[in-house]
Structure 1
Amino acid sequence: MALGLAERQRAHLVGLHVAPDVFVGVPAEVSLDYIEQAQKQIEADATANETTFRDLAAASGIDAEWRLELAQGPGYEAAVTRHVRCADLVITGQPDGFAWRGGDLLTEILLDSGRPILFLPYAGTFPRLGERVLVAWNGGREAARAAFDAVPLLREARNVRILMIDPPRGPSSGLAPADDLAVALARHGVPVEAARTTSGGLAVGDALLNDISDHGADLLVMGCYGHSRFRELLFGGVTRHILEHMTVPVLMSR
Structure 2
Amino acid sequence: MKSILLHVDGDQAFEARMQVALDLARAGNGHITCLQAVSYEVFAPGDFYGNAMAAAMPRIKEAAAELRAKIEEDLSNEDVSWEWRFQYGMAETRLLEQSALHDIILVGPNDIGEEASRSPSSMVGELAIKSPAPVMVVPGDVKRLDVNAPALVAWNGSAEACVALRASVPLLAHSSQVFLATVSEPGEQQRFEFPVSEAAMYLDRHGISAEVVELPRGKASIADTLLSAAEMRECGVMVMGAYGHSRLAEMLMGGVTRRILTNPKLPVLLAH
Aligned to 1:8: 27
- Structure 1 segments unaligned to the other structure (5+ residues): none
CA distance in 1, matches of 2:176, 2:145: 16
Question: 1:109–1:156: structure 2 CA closer, same or farther, 3 Å change rule?
Answer: same
So what's the TM-score if we normalise by structure 2? 0.79
CA distance in 2, matches of 1:140, 1:201: 23
CA distance in 2, matches of 1:215, 1:105: 30
Which shows bigger deviation, 212-221 or 150-159? 212-221
Aligned to 2:12: none
How far did 1:222 drift?
0.5
| Secondary structure of the structure 1 residue equivalent to 2:133 | coil
Q: Which residue identity lines up with residue 251 of structure 1 in the other structure?
A: L
| Secondary structure of the structure 2 residue equivalent to 1:217 | coil
Q: Map of 1:78-117 to 2, 5 A cutoff?
A: 78-95=93-110, 96=115, 97-100=117-120, 104-117=122-135
Check the 8 A contact 1:138/1:167 in 2, yes or no: no
Q: Among residues 49, 54, 59, which one is paired with 1:41 in the alignment? A: 59
CA distance in 1, matches of 2:245, 2:98: 26
Check the 8 A contact 1:222/1:252 in 2, yes or no: yes
CA distance in 2, matches of 1:148, 1:167: 25
So what's the TM-score if we normalise by structure 1? 0.84
Question: 1:163–1:30: structure 2 CA closer, same or farther, 3 Å change rule?
Answer: closer
Cα deviation per residue 1:71-110 (whole Å; 9 max; x = unaligned)? 2xxx443233112233210011111223337xx3333222
CA distance in 1, matches of 2:165, 2:264: 18
Check the 8 A contact 1:160/1:192 in 2, yes or no: yes
| Secondary structure of the structure 2 residue equivalent to 1:59 | coil
Q: Which residue identity lines up with residue 82 of structure 1 in the other structure?
A: E
Larger Rg: 1
CA distance in 2, matches of 1:201, 1:232: 20
Check the 8 A contact 1:227/1:234 in 2, yes or no: no
Q: Map of 1:7-86 to 2, 5 A cutoff?
A: 7-21=26-40, 24-25=43-44, 27-28=47-48, 35-36=54-55, 38-71=56-89, 75-86=90-101
Question: 1:160–1:111: structure 2 CA closer, same or farther, 3 Å change rule?
Answer: same
How far did 1:125 drift?
2.7
CA distance in 2, matches of 1:185, 1:152: 11
| Secondary structure of the structure 1 residue equivalent to 2:239 | strand
RMSD value, Cα: 2.9
Check the 8 A contact 1:226/1:234 in 2, yes or no: no
Aligned to 1:118: 136
Check the 8 A contact 1:130/1:156 in 2, yes or no: yes
How far did 1:179 drift?
2.3
Check the 8 A contact 2:36/2:91 in 1, yes or no: no
In the alignment of these two chains, the number of paired residues is 247
Question: 1:187–1:56: structure 2 CA closer, same or farther, 3 Å change rule?
Answer: farther
Question: 1:24–1:200: structure 2 CA closer, same or farther, 3 Å change rule?
Answer: closer
CA distance in 1, matches of 2:54, 2:185: 59
